[in-house]
Amino acid sequence: MTEARETTTFGGGAVESGFPVRLMTPGTELGARYEVRSVLGRGGTAVVYAAWDRELKRAVALKVLRADRVSEAMLKRLRREAAVARDAASPHLVRVFDIGQAGDAVFLTMELVEGESLRERLSRGPLTEEEALGITKQVLRGLSALHGLGIVHRDVKPGNVLLTPSGVAKLADFGLALDTESDETRATQTGGLLGTVEYLAPEQAVGGEVDGRADLYAVGVMLFEMVTGEVPFRRGTSIATVLAHLNERARELRQVRPSTPRWLSEVVARLLSKDPGDRYATAEEVLAALGRRSAGRAGTRSTRRRIARAVLAALVLLAGAGATIVTAPWRGRTVARIASAGTAGIRALDEDGKVLWERDDVPESGFCALVHVRGLSRQRVVALRHSPGARPAGPEGALLSFLSPSTGAVEREIRLAAPHAEAFAGEPARFSPAEVRALDLDDDGADEVLATFVHYNSAPSYVVLYEPAREESRLVFLGTGYHYVSGAADLDGDGRKEVVLHGTANGLGWYSAVAAVPAASLPEQERRSARADNPPVCSPDLPPSSGTETRSWYTLVGPPYGDAAQRSTARLDTSGGRLVLDGDERWEFTLDGFRVRATSAPPPNGRGEKRRTAYQELRAAGIAARTETWPDGLRHAREAAAAASGAGEALLAEWARRVEAGLLVRSGAVEDGVARFEELMRTTEVPALVAFDAGRALHRAGELRPAVDWYVRLAGGAGTGTGRNPWEALEGAVLALAETGRFDEAARVVVRFRGAFGEGAPHASMYAAFVDWKRGLAPGPERFESESALDLHRYWQLEARLARGESATALLSTLDAVDDPSNALGELRRLLRAELRMRAGAPAAEVLDSARAALTALRGARTQEPIARAHLDVATARFARIAEAAGKRDEVKETRAFLARVWGKSERAIRRQAS
């Protein structure tokens, strides 16, 4: 957060010599909400404190503006810092929660990052190459999130990089950040430069226009410093240092530290290019270079760039004297790269970084790619257009647009292949674009296009391949969990490349996973049609397509890392015969898809077949769980664990044991199942996932009290780390407590989760409103998040609107605008539709059959889906009203009696709660 992180206490708020600012002492209250614990650091404009948030019961950092520096300009920078940090969500950016004021103190409430700054770490000497690269990659991922919003940090330096004890690097201090879209956000400072001179890019030093490449220059300086222990330019005065940035060539890394690999020295040299056009264009390009351990080719320096740099160098002294420098907007002739434009949209840039055209219907740069097309000298631009509020793509498939490189106009569109409506059981076909990649899969000099789509509000994803030469598209991968393309390589030596994917295996325990799937078309004589002879590969929890299991592999590699960390780069190490994935971490695999580990033991015989057997047994266990044939399910789970262990796949074996524990609970052997879960909690790297599994199994078995205890573990020790979203456990706990009528406890659980996770537990207000609705308080629809993408939340909003007396016709219009999912929530929606139709004038007898079918389905789903059992009272009361109106009093009585049996309450108590 600041250059120094101190914890010295200054008693009584005394003024320290040389620092004319009164510091708050431990115990000082800031407003009624925050209690100061210690001083973390201080700078020229603010002091940063560790504090305790009494309302949310968590430690935070407070960045308090110095009283002598409060001005409109400083307040503007503070507001900018809050806005930037809120918009640019990334695990490698320090989160800012809010901006506040107490008395004359103005402050930001921020994430408290335990650990030290990179500046403190460097005070102990240079870093190893691997340490330096690990930190650099994480900083680049944070910058990628910023640059994706069109924001330039402008003050990247070691003091603004915070390192946690677990090795996570977070970029802080967005007070100088510049939104390249808005002149309103350009900060000024009289008598000085914005930024720190040792890390200033030449164009930034002279007050010229800057973009993300200025931040990449600073990254180059930091990487140089991490490896060597010194910055490339430091002179006796600030102006001398600025002149060195402008006119002197940095020493090569290998000259200062001879053991440095040549490729790394070349990467740093390119980052430190004087001309922005000679640097990497984006943070993603630097990550790719670090991943492949090759600097790549720099652009050709034009004469006008050299002239411009000389002019700027000559004018720097005038800039120091207060003169204004105006740069000329040189325009290129063709697209060199595509960048994100602010919070939404893209802009095409020429080789000089000047804007050629913009579009606001392509969400970000990851939704488009530059493609080499056979027979054309220039690259083409392909994009997935998706405006805010656009309807997600269904079975008809999305449109891939070819855009004019010079104007951005749509030249033609191709309808892409898509999964059929029932490809993912229980999930309606609603997919949004996630990314577009251009890869040359057959080494013919022309690119193929790979487009990834993710479910609008749930787990599935798919990847579709478009071949411009054939003008054909086909599915190459279906998965339960978001999977992204990392690259392509010929792994089996057949001359055709496999596409490497990295994602989360939602259907296999939520572990991080890597897959290799065939993508290149079969030779013409071997294929009758691309769709028939090239079926898509599925993640192993789904039924496999014919013939794909032996032509692909899928492996679990570690805890879930989140979307940003899964944007890795794959490359083939031909010398070692290994597949290497470089991202936040580095993974190495044998070409048949097994992690390379530091062991001298030979690999198990037949391990590929054993892994496939484990997947087959797990699919069988899943079928047995759905049909509630517990002995079969337990047998399959145990055989899966044995096969996975025999293949050396420890995480797959752990998932099989998690499945077995859940089946034990649901079969009635509750104590044995809970004991297995406790044993797993002692050994697993993913305690949050195990705790959720236990809570869900107990919930399905009707053991609601212990289910809640397991769910709320995620708000304690089991919640640390990554895994399922906290709101999923919150939802489980709230549904279970509401079913038992413990509404006050449910409300306390909401507060507990909000305190534990803050912004990490979204939708907390939604669940608080649900609790009030279930206890009969009829909260207004405004308390339910209208923008939530979750179908359950939208259903609750409809119920709230109905309770407030909104017309049945209006509610039917909203209900019919979205397809019903084929699960318990879909049945709740169908039952609601039946009553709304009756209220709109349809005879009760006309809607009775539909209502009866929906209630019957909900009864059957109560042991599989907690949503079904939690809303069984609402569904029963709704059906009773319809049946009563249709004169079916016997059905009304039977329905209420059934609910009393399964809920263990009297019919009167249930009617009172359901009303």
CA distances from 775 to 27, 133, 743, 762 (A): 40, 54, 7, 22
Task: Find the DSSP H helices in 684-807.
Answer: 687-700, 704-711, 726-739, 743-757, 764-774, 791-803
Q: Tokens for 713? A: 């573990």
**Contact yes or no for 462/440 (Cβ under 8 A):** no
Spatial distance between the Cα atoms of 443 and 441, rounded to a whole number of angstroms: 6
Instruction: Determine the length of the chain.
Output: 915
What residues does 461 pair with on adjacent strands? 454, 479
Reply yes or no on whether 104 is catalytic. Answer: no
Q: Tokens for 475? A: 């599915």
**Contact yes or no for 244/218 (Cβ under 8 A):** no
Spatial distance between the Cα atoms of 751 and 730, rounded to a whole number of angstroms: 10
Spatial distance between the Cα atoms of 878 and 884, rounded to a whole number of angstroms: 10
Spatial distance between the Cα atoms of 753 and 202, rounded to a whole number of angstroms: 47
Residue type, 706: P
Spatial distance between the Cα atoms of 654 and 687, rounded to a whole number of angstroms: 12
Rounded to the nearest 10 degrees, the angle between the axes of helix 791-803 and helix 824-839 is 20
Listed residue (134, 110, 107) closest to 46, CA to CA: 107
Residue 671, CB-side half-sphere exposure with 13 Å CA sphere? 0
Choose, from 53, 155, 215, 278, the residue flagged as catalytic: 155
Q: Tokens for 161? A: 């990089």
Listed residue (554, 439, 457) closest to 504, CA to CA: 554
DSSP 509: T
**Contact yes or no for 884/892 (Cβ under 8 A):** yes
Rounded to the nearest 10 degrees, the angle between the axes of helix 650-667 and helix 687-700 is 20
Spatial distance between the Cα atoms of 664 and 643, rounded to a whole number of angstroms: 20
Listed residue (547, 556, 540, 551) closest to 499, CA to CA: 551
**Strands of the sheet with 431-439, listed across from one edge:** 431-439, 448-455, 460-467, 472-480, 537-538
Spatial distance between the Cα atoms of 168 and 96, rounded to a whole number of angstroms: 17
Q: Tokens for 10? A: 């200054």
Q: Tokens for 827? A: 């049945």
Listed residue (276, 203, 189, 279) closest to 242, CA to CA: 203
Residue type, 668: G
Spatial distance between the Cα atoms of 383 and 393, rounded to a whole number of angstroms: 15
H/E stretch holding 353 reads: none
**Contact yes or no for 698/706 (Cβ under 8 A):** yes
What residues does 450 pair with on adjacent strands? 437, 465
Residue-by-residue DSSP string for 565-581: TT--EEEEETTTTEEEE
**Contact yes or no for 117/159 (Cβ under 8 A):** yes
Q: Is 678 helix (H, G, I), strand (E, B) or coil?
A: helix
Residue type, 826: G
Main-chain dihedrals φ then ψ at residue 557, nearest 5 degrees: -120, -15
What is the separation, in whole angstroms, between the first and last Cα of the chain? 53
Spatial distance between the Cα atoms of 595 and 75, rounded to a whole number of angstroms: 51
Which active-site residues does the annotation give? 155
